[in-house]
Structure 1
Amino acid sequence: MALRRTFRVAPLVLLLLDVAACVPQNSAPKAGNAVAPTAADLSTPQPRTATYNCADGGRMTIENLGTSLRVLDPDGTSEDLPASPANQNSRFGIAHDAIVIDGRDALVMKGGETPLTCTR
């Protein structure tokens, strides 16, 4: 008798476990929540405009526009890079170009080239 009851209840228990696995937990991040700033973001904020000296001997100026960066090369060309993802302020990129700002350092990545470290 007890074995028959176990076989009747088992599918219901499995179904409840399946449903419970699909429900998000309270500590899980939800879409649209802002990401908390890291210690590097709080300790050394990115100035509005900063000049960086790069490991290859080159220089560039980065203008921080909040939700994007404008990169100015010494030859006068500029490129705008939006925040990527949009809810943060240290990673910027478009297509194959990206810049990651970490305190006083910027890692510059261009498609097909070796990443370059620059310091302000």
Structure 2
Amino acid sequence: MALRRTFRVTLALLPLLTAAACVSQTKAGNQAAASATDLTAPQPRTATYKCADGGTMTIENLGTSVRVLGPDGVSQDLPASPANQNSRFGEAHDAIVIDGRDALVMKGGKTPLTCTR
């Protein structure tokens, strides 16, 4: 008799335990997403990046475009591409993709370069 009662109680509690486990995982997932958001915070107005080749560059975020000041002192403006983006900029054969603290710099005819702020 006790075994039958234990079985019924287990069957009744199983959906509740399953739901509780799902809620716990969802909260943990949201906390992980919040941590990732901290790492991918919007780029500051002006940021200096150190590149894998040992050089540095400064990127000034102008909203719909960026101004890139390379290690050679040459400044280049790149519009958002497509126009509604705030992380991809480029024209012709040059482009920059900003992802959190990293920037991938692509220049025509050269190997892409990773830079970190």
Q: Say whether the fold is shared (TM-score over 0.5).
A: yes
Alignment of 1:98 with 2:102, yes or no, is: no
Q: Does 1:69 align with 2:72?
A: no
The corresponding residue for 1:78 is 75
| Aligned residue-pair number | 82
TM-score (norm 2): 0.66
Measure the CA separation in 1 of the matches of 2:60 and 2:51.
Answer: 16
The DSSP-based 3-state class of the residue aligned with 1:46 is coil
Structure 1 residues 43 and 56: alpha-carbon distance in aligned structure 2, compared to 1, 3 A threshold: closer
After TM superposition, the score normalised by the length of structure 1 is 0.64
Cα pair 1:41 1:102 within 8 Å, conserved:
no
Distance 1:83 1:105, change over 3 A: same
The alignment's C-alpha RMSD in Å is 1.8
Structure 2: 5+ residue stretches without partners:
1-35
Contact 1:40 1:102 in 2 (8 A): no
Question: Are positions 1:46 and 2:43 aligned together?
Answer: yes
1:106 counterpart letter in structure 2: A
- CA shift, 1:116, in A, is 0.3
Structure 2 CA distance for aligned equivalents of residues 84 and 115 of structure 1: 17
Give me the identity figure in percent.
87
Q: Which has the higher helix share?
A: 2
* Distance in structure 2 (CA, Å) of the matches to 1:42 and 1:48: 16
